[in-house]
Structure 1
Amino acid sequence: MMFGHRTRCRVQIQQTALAGEQFLNCGVSLKQGTVPESNWWYGVVVVPILTAVVWIAHFGAEAGFPLLSVITGIGLVFVGGLLVPLFSVSLIMDVRALNQNENGWNPSKPLYYFVAAIHVFGLVTPLIYVATLFGATAYLTQRHNNVGSP
């Protein structure tokens, strides 16, 4: 009998779209913002991680490891050519999705749209690229604190 109650409660928790609602039959309450409906943050998190890998490979190549210079070259083409647009589109779409959901946090559209727009100019000016990486890190940190993922 208790097993059926737990299963029913688990199904109720998974099927609801209202985070923070308390289920009278289950005695379980969800933290507000635990049901985000956007996976666009994956595109935002990939760029800082791969940038760090490219920088580590670059410093390794400078230290005398020639294989790492090949990784640096491939990484720069990949990060610069493919991931800059991916980052910008992912950030815009994730901000848009979070603002449409009732998840308890509405990120600033003008701020993060601006970060996404100037990130494209990071191909020309590395200082802008680094600044937008700090913006991405701040965004992901706030997203984690308010929504629960990443």
Structure 2
Amino acid sequence: LHHIHVSAVQTVPLPPMLGQVLGVANADFAGRQEADGRLRMTISTGDWHHPAGPLAPDEIQPPAYMVSTIIERGAYVLPAVREARINRVWGGLLDMTPDGLPVIERTPGVEGLIVAAGFSGHGFCLGPITGQLIAALVTEATPCCPLDPFRLARFATVETDASPELLG
């Protein structure tokens, strides 16, 4: 896994203007309006290259230019964003696999260990089906869909620039 830094901006409550989630496949922008009217907008700022170990909260906060970029991209689609008051700003890290798909499988050679990781920020969305798949693996039932696309072995020939510290 490697990490992607994501920056987020949330406005104060606004009148309804977005009934669906907006997303761009390359993570240039995503946005949604929450039930209370606040808009939450995010962008990926790229790979996170940081030494292994604990992070101070301010190390992942987005810089001012990134906040401006989020607001500009949001205003391109929703012009009201340009004048909206900002409620809060934050940054975070997403765990990513090279192909963007999670790893879901029993761990070979470790009895009883099932891995479900690398959801690339889609963990909440994929939670229900992931729960079903994990339950099938735990009970040794047949999963509802093939798990081959989610096996760790798919990366056996993938080269990485990850340092040994990050690989454990």
TM-score by length of 1: 0.26
TM-score by length of 2: 0.24
Which of the pair is proportionally richer in helix?
A: 1
Look at both structures and tell me which one has the larger radius of gyration over its CA atoms: 1
Which of the pair is proportionally richer in strand?
A: 2
